[in-house]
Structure 1
Amino acid sequence: MKFRWRRVASAAVGSLLVGLLSVLPASPAAAATGQITGLAGKCIDVAGGSSTNGTAVQLYDCNGSAAQQWNVGSDGTIRALGKCLDVSNNSTADGALIHLWDCVGGANQQWTVSAARDIVNPAANKCLDVVGNNSANATRLQIWTCTGAANQKWTAPSGGTTPTPTGFVVTEAQFNQMFPSRNSFYTYSGLVAALSAYPAFANTGSDTVKKQEAAAFLANVNHETGGLYYIVEQNTANYPNYCDWGQSYGCPAGQSAYYGRGPIQLSWNFNYKAAGDALGIDLLGNPWLVQNDAAVAWKTGLWYWNTQNGPGTMTPHNAMVNGAGFGQTIRSINGSLECDGRNPAQVQSRVDAYNRFTGILGVTPGANLYC
């Protein structure tokens, strides 16, 4: 599929303190406490009931001890014996072992739970996994590429609790239904990890409005990337054109480094600069992060959605939560090329995806679908 890439307006963006990495409070907000069971009905267990840093986390027969009582906090941590479930050595590699460690706020101590019952470390984009698919007592836990296998599924017995779901109005199963042929780069866990940057997204207004906004964002993303298939702009001849040397900071990554990337196809040096400043990431110096890190890619899409008017008069976020309708999100993203009869086929493509996605989420699409 050939896309036409646009120059979007640069806008001053206020300084935001965002991201998953923040110093954890001394007393995390509790969401749930209890045993977490997995393979062969056995429990996640701290070896020997020890709270010493580096103590192995393992699979073991459920016994109700304190070593198997896990507090799943709203801050993204999973704790037992006053310490955090931690990926050893801050590793993101397959096979990195899990142990107990002082809670320090690192990305290796952040976890999310998918609708499919995977416990995911977003920084590594990998799942909590029982080594070797072995259900023997004392088998270690690790992170591993998510496969959907039984040794990566976690549930709670009666009287216990599981980690809370992500809170996102789109489940992983619905996401997969929306994008059956998506590129593996565009992970659901990466999207969920990015949500912390803009907590108002798909979290404002009624449940219907929340789902309509999520569907609207994903419908536009669907159009921009060919169904979450393309990560980077396909017309490489355009690459040298996205450097505006009139900006005081120039193009430190090179003349041809600022081509379209990610779910909204971020392009131009000034947009990389503005997005990076807002997100606290050096995207001007390292624009390749947008095509190499799924959470960063999703964050740039959410940055545009929540903060930029583009050729429209409002942000796409405001269009959805204030009742202006899906058509205004199209105007804010690519209105100068598509709206007011300029390219009705492209508009229809976006509307069709939005109608399909709201159907998957079980809500009406609302009014004002066209621009």
Structure 2
Amino acid sequence: MPSSVEGKRVEFHVQARLCCSKWGWCGNTPDHCGTDCQSQYGGGGPTPTPPNPGGKGVASIITENVFNQMLKHRNEGSCPGKNFYNYNAFIAAAQAFNGFGTTGDATAQKRELAAFFAQTFHETTGGWATAPDGPYAWGYCFLRENGGGDYCKSQQAPCASGKQYYGRGPIQLTWNYNYIAAVKAIGFDGLNDHDIVARDPTISFKTAIWFWMTAQSPKPSCHDVITGGWSPSGSDSAAGRTAGYEMTTNIINGGQECGNGFNAKVEDRNGFYKRYCDILGVSYGSNLDCYNQKSYGLALSTTEEEA
């Protein structure tokens, strides 16, 4: 869950550059970006053929059965997020972001989806050590941050009177300026009606995927890290930062969890990741923990402010 340790604001940039075919499907493949596109960035390519409505892109890896297997207990009566996080909303959100879960070979695609779910399930888990089916089957149990809070820094961005910008949704989006940044990429009233992130499941998933796909200088995006699109700079290498699942933890909450040896929260994130890699039938890759990896210090994550 998000902390309230102060840091500094950084700018966010996202470009979901998609082509939309005449059948209403959007993406970045030749089928989407051919000559019959209704809306596209860049042209050329062969005349598209109608895409199969089912089993394409992310949906070919995360089927509804797999989604339900991963999230066996999300709809338990004890879960505040019961019946909110649904499969169709996830797929609709995934299709809105170019390259999410579709970059690289099958191994890269599966690892990215396993990593995304691992991190967001950790943020919203309702599990415990002896929970039925284990602690990693209780993701997406929570919808809003426990305890709430204003999370308003009005000198950096406006705040609406009486509104609270605490964590909501799969990534637990927090702070007024982060809601405003998400608005620019997704399109909703993040200043006055930010609670829509906890009412509209598609928008909720979009905020999480937006964060995942968005680089936050000096941090890379989780997407680039996990799919091989990022290489450590000299300063990254000196800080022990390497490309692997552990870098997504550093991006999300490195100031609280990385660089100080063993951390139980890091282990929990790793446990989720290994479980979902196993479900998807893909190896874990190297570099899973950030115990000896320096955080980015006063760099702001989309969900919280780091020490």
TM-score normalised by structure 2 residue count: 0.69
Q: Report the equivalent of 2:55.
A: 165
Report the CA distance between 1:178 and its aligned residue: 1.0
Counterpart contact for 2:17–2:98, Cα < 8 Å: no
Q: Give, as a single letter, the amino acid of the residue that structure 2 aligns with 1:229.
A: C
Equivalent position to 2:107, from 185, 189, 208 = 208
Equivalent position to 1:307, from 214, 220, 226 = 214
Q: Report the equivalent of 2:278.
A: 359
Counterpart contact for 1:11–1:274, Cα < 8 Å: no
Q: Which has the higher contact order (CA 8 A, sep 6+)?
A: 2
Q: Report the equivalent of 2:98.
A: 199
SS in 2 for 1:197: coil
Q: Report the equivalent of 1:283.
A: 190
Residues 264 and 15 (structure 1), Cα distance of their counterparts in 2 relative to 1, 3 Å cut? closer
Residues 16 and 367 (structure 1), Cα distance of their counterparts in 2 relative to 1, 3 Å cut? closer
Q: Report the equivalent of 1:245.
A: 154
SS in 2 for 1:199: coil
Residues 162 and 278 (structure 1), Cα distance of their counterparts in 2 relative to 1, 3 Å cut? closer
Structure 2 gap segments, 5+ residues each: 28-37, 40-50, 75-81, 126-138, 231-242, 291-307
Structure 2 Cα separation of the partners of residues 10 and 266 of structure 1: 15
SS in 2 for 1:229: coil
Counterpart contact for 1:326–1:369, Cα < 8 Å: yes
Counterpart contact for 2:152–2:159, Cα < 8 Å: yes
**2:249 equivalent to 1:341:** no
Structure 1 Cα separation of the partners of residues 115 and 16 of structure 2: 26
**2:32 equivalent to 1:13:** no
Counterpart contact for 1:251–1:284, Cα < 8 Å: yes
**2:155 equivalent to 1:263:** no
Q: Report the equivalent of 1:232.
A: 144
Q: Report the equivalent of 2:202.
A: 295
Residues 18 and 276 (structure 1), Cα distance of their counterparts in 2 relative to 1, 3 Å cut? farther
Report the CA distance between 1:163 and its aligned residue: 3.5
Structure 1 Cα separation of the partners of residues 201 and 212 of structure 2: 17
Report the CA distance between 1:10 and its aligned residue: 4.1
SS in 2 for 1:191: helix
Report the CA distance between 1:266 and its aligned residue: 0.3
Report the CA distance between 1:275 and its aligned residue: 0.6
Please identify the structure whose Cα radius of gyration is greater: 1
Residues 273 and 16 (structure 1), Cα distance of their counterparts in 2 relative to 1, 3 Å cut? same
Question: Which one has a larger percent strand, Structure 1 or Structure 2?
Answer: 1
Report the CA distance between 1:195 and its aligned residue: 1.3
Report the CA distance between 1:352 and its aligned residue: 0.7
Structure 2 Cα separation of the partners of residues 289 and 206 of structure 1: 35
Structure 2 Cα separation of the partners of residues 166 and 292 of structure 1: 27
CA RMSD of aligned residues (A): 2.8
Extract structure 1 runs of 4+ deviating beyond 3 A. 6-11, 13-19, 73-76
Report the CA distance between 1:314 and its aligned residue: 1.7
5 Å-filtered alignment, 1:1-371, equals 3-5=1-3, 10-14=9-13, 16=15, 28-29=22-23, 74=25, 163-168=53-58, 169-182=61-74, 183-226=82-125, 227-236=139-148, 239-240=149-150, 242-247=151-156, 249-252=157-160, 254-309=161-216, 313-322=219-228, 324-341=243-260, 344-371=263-290
Report the CA distance between 1:315 and its aligned residue: 1.3
Percent identity of the aligned residues? 36
Per-residue CA shift, 1:229-285, capped at 9, x if unaligned? 00000113xx12x001102x4202x34420100001000000000011111222122
Number of aligned residue pairs: 233
